[in-house]
Structure 1
Amino acid sequence: MKKLSTSSSNPINHGVPLLFLLLLLSQLLPITSRKFLRSHLADGDSATYIWPLPWQYTSGNQTLTVDPSLSLVATGSGGGSVIVAEAFERYKRITFKHAAKLPGSGIGYDLTKLNLIVHSENEELQLGVDESYTLTIAAGSGLSIIGQITIEANSVYGALRGLETLSQLCAFDYGAKTVKVYRAPWYIQDKPRFMYRGLLLDTSRHYLPTDIIKRVIESMSYAKLNVLHWHIIDEESFPLEVPSYPNLWKGSYTKWERYTIEDASDIVSFAKMRGINVLAEVDVPGHAESWGTGYPELWPSASCREPLDVSKNFTFDLLSGMLADMRKIFPFELFHLGGDEVHTDCWSSTPHVKQWLQDHNMTGKDAYQYFVLRAQEIAISLNWTPVNWEETFNTFPASLNPRTVVHNWLQAGVCPRAVAQGFRCIFSDQGVWYLDHLDVPWEKVYYVEPLEGINDVSEEKLVLGGEVCMWGETADASNVQQTIWPRAAAAAERLWSKKESTSAKNSTLETLSRLEYFRCLLTRRGVPAAPVTNFYARRPPIGPGSCYSQ
């Protein structure tokens, strides 16, 4: 995690009286929200609560039943995609979890077939892939009593987003024991506002089994997030197998807390099937003490273990071989090289490194720049676009490769400065989008604007999007998902939906009710999402009550 973080993660630090007051207030808001929600759900109107909010939609006042044996008719050049076929079956299992188990009643259903039209057979998943789609649910008219569902998309990944929206429009009626679509007919035109909508997952501070990582990826698809930033390695542990340098994963916590290259490839493939890229990170030259467990020569000295030794060619030979191995696993065009929190005192205090600095007429700051730029050159030679934390831009912007993507985290205002100098930027301001800051409420996550301070249209286009960060010092397999959700969903809607329809704070009550509904959708799908209105994230409910109001 970024060590300069100052937001408290301990509620005791806020003082008992203040904590009591905030907890009391957090319970008053759901009372109003509960009334608002019940007034809208009185007729089973779950359709109001699509998350993230589509760009354009119209609806009617009819209720249609959906056949649990819903069939797929996929056409277009991409209609035969395995990605589409598997997604359809996956969403059928989610949507008809109850209805599919019931004996046939012989009743006629209004909606029996999904027409899915995909215009491209290209399944390459890269930055900016077309995720737009249209969804039409039309009731029967005239002599026809059968309605139609149609999803049309330019890519298989747009089709995935349309299937998610369709699944949210379908609700199980426990009385009639059928799946229904309320407020039909529906017409939805949808697309993402930003091409990069990410979640950082840290598996160095606490090892996360591959099944947990996959569950996080699955849950990301429900909120239409599309980049898993996998912070695999840090100073505490090195869990990844690197065939060219097999001693590196001696830096893992134990021999049972590791990822083989097959594990990593499986995670990338699993994510692609859900339209999610995997952005891997190797954080250099700081945050790399664990590397020296297997190769001690990477340390400046036994007592001074990071940053990595800048004076040795072996350091860069190893980095080059390691990235070449990783390039075989991670096809995404972006690769994160870290570059944050580099404290060069170790270099200046180690005799042979100090001598190297003097021989090359370098200061510690110069050597920091030298290391970052050499790492960038290696990544670019492997046809990657380098991403670096903002310290690199803050320290030597004129020297960075122009292709560099600047990743903001320290404070607001970095993206405006970066795009003004022609760099692309990813927004992750720690004050609002660091999920390990447990005292940041959903509203603060939701109402941040990634383009704040940028008024030029050409510069706005350089902001790729944003990312919420799940640093792992205080989260492991037991609580990582309830720390991620539902606050990550607040950022997901900010990154997907139209700014004009989600920025008005006078609609907070309606937004809260939709987010509470989405949180309950997550829990129904097996995602252990925490209550929305917690003062302290991942705190359990304090008493009996509905899922929709805790």
Structure 2
Amino acid sequence: MVIVVFLCLLILAPFPSSLGLWPIPRGLSAGTATVKLSSSFDIHVAFNNVPADLDDAIHRIKTHLKTDTFERLVVGRGSADANSVHRAFSIKDLTLSLTQNVTIRPVAVEVNTVGIEDRDESYILTIPAKGTQATLVANSTLGLFRGLSTFDFMWYHFDGEKYILNAPLRITDSPAFPYRGFSFDTSRNFYPVSDIKRTLDAMSWVKLNVLYWHIADSQAFPLQVAAFPELAARGAYSQEEIYTESDIKSVVKYANERGIDVVMELDTPGHTTAIGMAHPEHIACFAKSPWTKYANEPPAGQLRIASADTVNFAKKLFQSAIDLLDGTMMSSGGDEVNLPCWNEDEDTLAALEQNNQTIAQALDQFVQEVQGVMNANGKMPFIKSDMVLEHNVTVLNNTGVVVWKSSLDAVSVAQRGLRFIHQPSNYFYLDCGAGDWVGNNVLGNSWCDPFKTWQRAYSFDPYANLTTDQQHLVLGGQMPIWSEQSSSENLDQIVWPRLAAGAEVFWTGATLPDGNPRLGVNATSGVNAFARLNEVRYRLVDRGVKAIALQPKWCALRPGLCDVDS
């Protein structure tokens, strides 16, 4: 048996209002019967040699099914369901199976060894109305993991029972895009490893599969690497605010076991001032004033790209970081380099003259050298879009471009035939709208105002302005948090549940499975995103994630009654 999941599976009937799945599966048939989980419910695997990380996932889900207390978001919180739940058939077990002739590998191995475009995350989940056994079948352990996350996040709790109202249920599902990420800046303010792991858990529940880890910047260098331990020793805010090598490996392992890649970004050659705390010889315009002339934000400083010693330093730094990482991707960043910084740096000017180079040529060579290290280690290199669009650097054919300044830049990247991910500041930046954080700004506006609502992110069209022939270049996308004004204390509230909006955009596709747009006058009321996202928020809170409220609880309990003109 082979699972076949079509690219445009349609939900022919209206999406059930009492089935709060997120993201919407790409194929669904549902009934109206109530079923509940048996008090002795168990999960079985129909094959031998079950990988440890899949077994661990099963145990986590069994724990959730016992401890989750989320009640249906209706007036009475499910009390009206009591009679049907009492009479309902009980599901005694969920059986997991793989299709024939499939190599059984750990989930983490699927993530680490298979290129992101070649992974199979498809699954079929079936829950009967009258039988006792639910089934989950997939082509890979990664597909089983995705199906388990659906099963895990769909049940309601009432009076000690776990139930749903839409059996028989058959979900045939797979992602529209292979790359579905969250970009996490842990440099400007430090986050404990526990924050990162809690975020990874929540990401896995909504089928996000990439943690793009912006781990160092101008303000701090908290990454400990064997080749240059002095970078973190002198560049971190304190010895308690360092990601040790064991921390990095722990986060990578934790993520991979949850079907999530870790793509580390070492942002170069800009945003590198903190390196100068240990190696000032590699940094041009180190902390030079006024910073507004030499950098996009304080403090000023970027790598001396024309220096052979600095280029070799950067290559060794990347190699040392790669030694900590599994997976098939890595990023060199590359945004917001400042030309006056190099034009006024005597060491850079001398090196350019000695090499008979221009700044543009030195920058191009630097990028090629760094990309060469990543490529030689089997990493698909990622780079920020301004390197390509504004500086026209030479990149490898397998490069992924992060389109971040504007959604309109995607067209220009596509015209160059390069694959890319969407991270547009005008749709996805989670930190926008909090006001400016630099002093002496009378207006106090942030550069990317206004606040990016979940509706704004949810309305994003990954194929906007692209030709049909260019659409294959879209790998997916990610929503970022830049941490100038965030820290451990407000992380969850800034990120959740808005990040889930991006998760559905890139899992479900450019439109809803019924072909309708996500939001707007033509959107169908049958797929009530607001009601479903409210459920996501309350489920996250139930599991300890401090996701911010989207509406007064009165509205959340009465879906649709707070709509305009309702």
TM bracket, shorter-chain basis = 0.7 to 0.9
Question: 1:370-381 to 2 correspondence within 5 Å?
Answer: 370-381=365-376
Structure-1 separation of matches of 2:87 and 2:428: 49
Q: Aligned letter for 1:423?
A: L
2:37 to 41, 66, 81: 66
8 Å CA contact 1:202–1:470 kept in 2: the answer is yes
Which residue does the alignment assign to 2:254?
A: 270
1:395 to 390, 393, 403: 390
Using the TM superposition, give the Cα deviation of residue 293 of structure 1 relative to its aligned residue in structure 2, in angstroms. Answer: 0.8
Structure-2 separation of matches of 1:220 and 1:401: 30
1:499 to 1:345, Cα distance in 2 relative to 1, 3 A: closer
Q: Secondary structure at the match of 2:327?
A: coil
1:374 to 1:357, Cα distance in 2 relative to 1, 3 A: same
Which residue does the alignment assign to 2:330?
A: 335
Which residue does the alignment assign to 2:448?
A: none
- The C-alpha deviation readout for 1:386-408, integer Å capped at 9, x for no partner, is 11100111134472222221110
Q: Aligned letter for 2:145?
A: L
Using the TM superposition, give the Cα deviation of residue 48 of structure 1 relative to its aligned residue in structure 2, in angstroms. Answer: 1.7
8 Å CA contact 1:307–1:344 kept in 2: the answer is no
Q: Aligned letter for 1:448?
A: F
Q: Aligned letter for 1:478?
A: E
Are 1:471 and 2:482 an aligned pair? yes
Are 1:279 and 2:263 an aligned pair? yes
Which residue does the alignment assign to 1:16?
A: none
1:488 to 491, 495, 499: 499
Using the TM superposition, give the Cα deviation of residue 373 of structure 1 relative to its aligned residue in structure 2, in angstroms. Answer: 2.0
8 Å CA contact 1:46–1:169 kept in 2: the answer is no
Are 1:114 and 2:94 an aligned pair? yes
Using the TM superposition, give the Cα deviation of residue 46 of structure 1 relative to its aligned residue in structure 2, in angstroms. Answer: 7.4
Are 1:423 and 2:418 an aligned pair? yes
1:98 to 1:201, Cα distance in 2 relative to 1, 3 A: closer
1:312 to 1:343, Cα distance in 2 relative to 1, 3 A: same
Aligned residues with identical type, % of pairs: 29
Which residue does the alignment assign to 1:56?
A: 27
Which residue does the alignment assign to 2:156?
A: 171
- The C-alpha deviation readout for 1:211-244, integer Å capped at 9, x for no partner, is 0000000010111100000100001000011111
8 Å CA contact 2:42–2:62 kept in 1: the answer is no
8 Å CA contact 1:445–1:490 kept in 2: the answer is yes
Structure-2 separation of matches of 1:302 and 1:519: 44
1:164 to 1:349, Cα distance in 2 relative to 1, 3 A: same
- The C-alpha deviation readout for 1:299-356, integer Å capped at 9, x for no partner, is 2365556221223333222222222222222222111101111012222212232122
Q: Secondary structure at the match of 1:59?
A: strand
Which residue does the alignment assign to 1:244?
A: 227
1:98 to 1:473, Cα distance in 2 relative to 1, 3 A: closer
Q: Aligned letter for 1:183?
A: N
1:547 to 1:160, Cα distance in 2 relative to 1, 3 A: farther
1:131 to 113, 117, 121: 121
Q: Aligned letter for 1:274?
A: R
- The C-alpha deviation readout for 1:177-221, integer Å capped at 9, x for no partner, is 211122111111000010000000110011000000000000101
Which residue does the alignment assign to 2:452?
A: 440
Structure-1 separation of matches of 2:148 and 2:18: 14
2:244 to 260, 272, 290: 260
Q: Aligned letter for 1:164?
A: S
Q: Which is further off, 428-437 or 122-131?
A: 122-131
Normalization by structure 1: what TM-score? 0.83
Are 1:522 and 2:540 an aligned pair? yes
Are 1:154 and 2:117 an aligned pair? no
Q: Secondary structure at the match of 1:399?
A: coil
8 Å CA contact 2:462–2:510 kept in 1: the answer is no
Q: Aligned letter for 2:523?
A: S
Q: Secondary structure at the match of 1:431?
A: coil
Using the TM superposition, give the Cα deviation of residue 416 of structure 1 relative to its aligned residue in structure 2, in angstroms. Answer: 2.3
Q: Secondary structure at the match of 1:247?
A: helix
Using the TM superposition, give the Cα deviation of residue 508 of structure 1 relative to its aligned residue in structure 2, in angstroms. Answer: 7.2
Question: 1:491-502 to 2 correspondence within 5 Å?
Answer: 491-501=502-512
Structure ranking higher in helix proportion? 1
Structure-2 separation of matches of 1:50 and 1:302: 50
Structure-2 separation of matches of 1:392 and 1:339: 6
Using the TM superposition, give the Cα deviation of residue 545 of structure 1 relative to its aligned residue in structure 2, in angstroms. Answer: 7.4
1:303 to 1:112, Cα distance in 2 relative to 1, 3 A: closer
Question: 1:229-240 to 2 correspondence within 5 Å?
Answer: 229-240=212-223
Q: Secondary structure at the match of 1:445?
A: helix
- The runs of at least 4 consecutive aligned structure 1 residues that moved more than 4 Å come to 106-109, 301-305, 543-550
Q: Aligned letter for 1:197?
A: R
Which residue does the alignment assign to 2:58?
A: 88
1:493 to 1:108, Cα distance in 2 relative to 1, 3 A: closer
Using the TM superposition, give the Cα deviation of residue 47 of structure 1 relative to its aligned residue in structure 2, in angstroms. Answer: 4.5
- The C-alpha deviation readout for 1:464-503, integer Å capped at 9, x for no partner, is 0000001111110011111111111111111011433262
Structure-1 separation of matches of 2:35 and 2:348: 73
Q: Aligned letter for 2:97?
A: I
8 Å CA contact 2:285–2:342 kept in 1: the answer is no
Structure-2 separation of matches of 1:531 and 1:482: 9
Which residue does the alignment assign to 2:517?
A: 503
Which residue does the alignment assign to 2:79?
A: none
Which residue does the alignment assign to 1:5?
A: none
Q: Secondary structure at the match of 1:279?
A: strand
Q: Which is further off, 363-372 or 465-474?
A: 363-372
Q: Secondary structure at the match of 1:516?
A: helix
8 Å CA contact 1:229–1:278 kept in 2: the answer is yes
1:98 to 1:442, Cα distance in 2 relative to 1, 3 A: closer
Q: Secondary structure at the match of 1:297?
A: helix
Q: Secondary structure at the match of 2:484?
A: coil
8 Å CA contact 2:213–2:265 kept in 1: the answer is yes
8 Å CA contact 1:191–1:496 kept in 2: the answer is yes
Q: Aligned letter for 2:400?
A: V
Using the TM superposition, give the Cα deviation of residue 517 of structure 1 relative to its aligned residue in structure 2, in angstroms. Answer: 1.6
8 Å CA contact 1:244–1:321 kept in 2: the answer is yes
8 Å CA contact 1:198–1:229 kept in 2: the answer is yes
Which residue does the alignment assign to 2:191?
A: 208
Which residue does the alignment assign to 1:185?
A: 168
Q: Aligned letter for 2:428?
A: W
Q: Aligned letter for 1:432?
A: Y
Q: Aligned letter for 2:121?
A: E
Q: Aligned letter for 2:188?
A: R
What 5-or-longer segments of structure 2 have no aligned partner? 1-13, 70-85, 289-299, 434-450
Using the TM superposition, give the Cα deviation of residue 67 of structure 1 relative to its aligned residue in structure 2, in angstroms. Answer: 2.0
8 Å CA contact 1:426–1:464 kept in 2: the answer is yes
Q: Aligned letter for 2:274?
A: S
Structure-1 separation of matches of 2:274 and 2:558: 44
Which residue does the alignment assign to 2:347?
A: 352
1:270 to 1:367, Cα distance in 2 relative to 1, 3 A: same
Which residue does the alignment assign to 2:531?
A: 513
Structure-2 separation of matches of 1:212 and 1:499: 31
Q: Secondary structure at the match of 1:415?
A: helix
Structure-2 separation of matches of 1:437 and 1:92: 38
- The C-alpha deviation readout for 1:74-108, integer Å capped at 9, x for no partner, is 1246x612222111111111122168xxxxxx999
Q: Secondary structure at the match of 1:255?
A: coil
8 Å CA contact 2:458–2:501 kept in 1: the answer is yes
How many positions carry a matched residue from both structures?
485
Q: Secondary structure at the match of 2:125?
A: strand
8 Å CA contact 1:409–1:429 kept in 2: the answer is yes
Give RMSD over aligned pairs: 2.5
1:351 to 1:56, Cα distance in 2 relative to 1, 3 A: same
